[in-house]
A and B are shown apart, each in its own frame.
Chain A
Amino acid sequence: MSALFYIFSAVMLVFGVLVVVNRNPVSSALSLVVSFLGLAALFITLNAYFIGVIQILVYTGAVMVLFLFIIMLLDIKTEQRRELNYVALGGGVVVILALVSQLAILLAGFVPGKQKLSVLPDDAAVHQDVKRVGEAVFTDFNFHLQLLGILLLIATIGVVVLSRRQGRADESGE
């Protein structure tokens, strides 16, 4: 169990670094897919099966296909050869080191965080994860779910409006 945790964490973090390091946007996107697969595995080690499956379906399935589609559509090969911006690079490294060291110091003194993951009994409610989440979403959070539906509808309309060809808007009177 612990070995799996370290393996999937390493996969997630290494491919996360590759997303930033790769010069080619397509390799970045594919690295992000692998990174998200590692993250989904971590969700499953936390007994959040539903979230793990949703992570794979929504992120590595839908969202990353959308990213790859846009990268292919824009044909940005000419953008690859740019010299590095060393100010941004140095600033980024400093900020990241500050963030990570701060977090490490904070977690060293975080006593509730020392508890280990315990093995759940076979009849634990968590094993009916999808049922429980579904009950919560459709009863307690029903209103929020409907709001989410409206949000997705607005996003869909927004995308259609944004991706209309500029030319046609100009022809129709602007």
Chain B
Amino acid sequence: MMPSLNEYLMVSGLLFAIGFAGVLMRRNIIIIFMCLEMMLSAANLSLVAFWRFGSGNGMPAEGYEAQVLVFFVIAVAAAEVAVGLAIIVALFRARCTVHVDDLNSMKG
């Protein structure tokens, strides 16, 4: 009994929902950032699942565009993490907090 496409999509949706819940509930900016990464990875999982079932009958699609897209998403996410964490460090130096409720004015 092999898993079906719907099961992969549901797992991916659940991971996305957990990440989304983290973004909404947590107030620590680093945790929020980690949850954003989780949401990106959930999107990657559904992309790869659609690729793997792309030809119907549980066979993968002919082309490799989906995996190339996932590769680019991961690379861009890595660049995004580097810039985001640098911004968090700069913010912490200016305000001495990582709690988003304390960051309520734009002019530092």
Is there an interface contact between B10 and A107, defined as CB atoms closer than 8 Å?
A: yes
Is there an interface contact between B4 and A46, defined as CB atoms closer than 8 Å?
A: no
How many of A's residues come within 8 Å of B, CB to CB? 85
Query: Can you name the residue of chain A whose Cβ is closest to the Cβ of B70?
Result: A51
**Residue B106, interface by CB 8 Å:** no
> How many angstroms between the C-alpha atoms of A59 and B81 in the bound complex?
10
Q: In angstroms, how far is the closest chain A Cβ from the Cβ of B7?
A: 7
Interface positions, chain B 10-35, Cβ under 8 Å from A, are 10-11, 13-22, 24-28, 30-31, 33-35
A-B contact count (CB 8 A): 244
Query: Can you name the residue of chain A whose Cβ is closest to the Cβ of B30?
Result: A25
> How many angstroms between the C-alpha atoms of A12 and B44 in the bound complex?
14
Is there an interface contact between A100 and B14, defined as CB atoms closer than 8 Å?
A: yes
List 28 A-B pairs, Cβ < 8 Å.
Answer: A1-B3, A5-B7, A17-B18, A19-B22, A19-B35, A39-B41, A47-B60, A48-B67, A51-B70, A51-B71, A54-B71, A54-B74, A67-B33, A74-B98, A76-B28, A79-B99, A82-B99, A92-B21, A92-B24, A104-B10, A113-B53, A116-B2, A117-B3, A117-B53, A132-B64, A148-B76, A155-B79, A155-B83
Chain A interface (Cβ < 8 Å from any Cβ of B)? 1-2, 5-6, 9, 12-13, 16-17, 19-20, 25, 28-29, 32, 35-36, 39, 42-43, 45-48, 50-51, 54-55, 58-59, 62-63, 66-67, 70-71, 73-74, 76, 79, 82, 85, 88-89, 91-93, 95-96, 99-100, 103-104, 107, 110, 112-120, 124, 126, 129, 132-133, 135-137, 140-141, 144, 148, 151-152, 155-156, 158-159, 162-163, 166
